[in-house]
Amino acid sequence: MLKKNRWATPFVTFLILLVSACSSAPKSNDAALESSFAYRDISAVPCELKNLKPKLEYPFGVNEKRYPKEHFTYGVEVEYSLSEMGPGLFNAYAPDAELISHEAWDLLSHEQKLQWVRDNKDKLFPQGPKYPGRIAIRQPEEMLPERLIVDETGNVELVSPKIVDSKVEFEQYLDMLEKRFGEGYVQASVGTSSRHIFKTEANTNEFIGYRFFFGEKDQISKLAEGYAKHLEVPKYIPGKNFTHPYLGPIVNYKANSFRRLIRDNRVGKFEADVLDRVAKRDISHKYTGAVVYRPDIIRKREIFISEIRQCVKDFDCLKKLAERERFFIGRNLEAFAAFENVTHVDTIADFNFLPADVQDLLTRAFNRNHGQVEAEEIIANQVHRNFAYPTQNWDRWLSALEVKPTHVAYRRVKDAQEAYVATLKDVTARERSGAITLKEAESSVRIALAKFAYDSKLTDIFDRYLTSRFGKTAF
């Protein structure tokens, strides 16, 4: 569903569009990469957009007069399952005429078109994932790719051929996509200069802390909000993202991988096999429900790309998180230095500390077999391990958040942890006795997970910290 995000093809397409429009940029692929994201010259914007003069915004520590090209830039990708491709998409795109004439295509109902695509998927995407397929745009448009592609999960991808320079353009583009093509699994990339983030080791550590802070806050907030919704609508079961191998919490081995990766990148170390693992493997640090660092896209020290992948079908969420990136990367991140060395849930050790019968229940209730054969890939997809999340040691987090062991807030977190484990034991006993089904047990565990976040009031602790440093919490 959200597994892969391919940018190599769109960058080549992007270059072709720019050359055919107003720019006299060179025609090499390297030039396309260098001119994209943080280093794209405003003179290369297609003709009809030049007069807009969007407000360019810059990361902290970048002198815009000295480095005018190092501003924020944005890219977008939307994925649609074959059953979710709406009429708008088929109005703009059609299979190549060699496969079916446009006249015959137009005579089909929407449901017939969906079935035709399903029946002819191999013909439409003969080269497989990552490569442009044989569904082409009927009337060329600057803001839409010439051809659709398919990813490894079988979803059809619409990837922006144009990297936009401003928040206004970015949000207008999202509005256009949602209005014309409906909801899809939407992702965005925010490009910046790495000038300040990689300036010193301390600056890099501050960025690591920033990523960890909001990665954890976002998970806790989503769970707490989900439990509040459950209280209002009992049929709503929160915690669904914890059942997804690519949207769960930041876990210990992924956090350590991210630390090492960004520190290597800071000193110019970009090893191809390591970056390939980031791009292609399920153990990649990018597969979490958080905004993630993506050095594998451009593979250059000077250009810094963050990917927003946790919004699923929520376009407003994407706008909000992109604005948050712009807000904080545009400021000194020293307030997050204390979070660089926090711990995260260890999905092996923390899970193994749960009672054996509870482990068995979680394994059966959240068994998701994705066909992996390598040990590390198998563990990465064992989503039942995510439900050890509340039991992790929160002490480093609470210390960094300036909560002392004598504080009521500290005791509240510990009480919520104990209540969570007690609930898991109770659910396990009831499922074993036959009082509830395995499906009901799964729902009860997800509710208990969200209740931990709600009762611990960790969201309030994170918010208080933000208020003390930045004067507001609405991020």
78 - beta bridge partners? 158, 186
* Token pair recorded at residue 165: 């320079």
Return the pLDDT at 355.
97
Return the pLDDT at 52.
53
Return the pLDDT at 374.
73
Other Cβ atoms less than 10 A from the Cβ of 425: the count is 15
Which band of pLDDT confidence, cut at 50, 70 and 90, is reported for residue 307? very high
Tally of residues, the chain: 475
Strand 303-308 versus strand 292-293 pairing type? antiparallel
Return the pLDDT at 380.
87
Q: Where are the domains of the chain?
A: 8-193, 201-470
d(CA 146, CA 157): 12
Can you tell me the mean pLDDT for 46-72?
78
Query: For the chain, what is the radius of gyration of the CA atoms?
Result: 23
Return the pLDDT at 377.
83
| High-pLDDT (> 90) share of the chain, % | 77
> Is the Cβ–Cβ distance between 151 and 3 less than 8 Å?
yes
Return the pLDDT at 50.
44
Return the pLDDT at 373.
62
Q: Which phi and psi angles does 348 have, rounded to 5°?
A: -100, -60
Other Cβ atoms less than 10 A from the Cβ of 158: the count is 24
d(CA 30, CA 39): 12
Which band of pLDDT confidence, cut at 50, 70 and 90, is reported for residue 475? low
Return the pLDDT at 329.
95
Q: What is the pLDDT of residues 369-403, one digit of tens each?
A: 666 667 778 888 899 999 999 999 999 999 999 99
Q: What is the pLDDT of residues 186-236, one digit of tens each?
A: 999 999 999 999 999 999 999 999 999 999 999 999 999 999 999 999 999
d(CA 138, CA 205): 48
The sheet with strand 93-95 has its strands ordered as: 93-95, 132-137, 147-150, 156-159, 73-80, 185-193, 303-308, 292-293
Residue 106, pLDDT above cutoff 50: yes
Q: Is the dihedral of CA 259, 223, 240, 159 positive or negative?
A: negative
**129-136: Cβ within 8 A, 24+ apart:** 129/4, 129/6, 130/6, 130/8, 130/9, 131/9, 132/9, 134/95, 134/96, 134/98, 134/99, 135/93, 135/94, 135/95, 135/96, 136/93, 136/94, 136/95, 136/96
Closest C-alpha among 194, 209, 159, 158 to residue 72: 194
Q: What is the pLDDT of residues 222-272, one digit of tens each?
A: 999 999 999 999 999 999 999 999 999 999 999 999 999 999 999 999 999
d(CA 57, CA 190): 12
d(CA 8, CA 29): 10
* Token pair recorded at residue 105: 């295509």
Question: What secondary structure does DSSP assign to 10-65, as a single string?
Answer: HHHHHHHHHHHTT------HHHHHHHSGGG--GGGS-GGGGGG-PPP---TT--TT
Report the mean per-residue pLDDT for the chain: 87
Q: Which phi and psi angles does 126 have, rounded to 5°?
A: -65, -25
Q: What is the pLDDT of residues 140-168, one digit of tens each?
A: 999 999 999 998 788 999 999 989 999 99
Q: Is the dihedral of CA 1, 152, 262, 319 positive or negative?
A: negative
Return the pLDDT at 164.
92
Return the pLDDT at 45.
42
Classify burial at 234, counting beta carbons within 10 Å of its beta carbon; exposed 0-12, middle 13-18, buried 19 or more: exposed
Taking phi over 0 as left and psi of -120 to 50 as alpha, with beta for the rest, 402 belongs to left
Which residue type, as a one-letter code, is found at position 62?
V
Q: How far, CA to CA in Å, does 74 sit from each of 59, 163, 318, 323?
A: 14, 6, 11, 11
Q: What is the pLDDT of residues 308-363, one digit of tens each?
A: 999 999 999 999 999 999 999 999 999 999 999 999 999 999 999 999 999 999 99
Return the pLDDT at 370.
63
215 - beta bridge partners? none
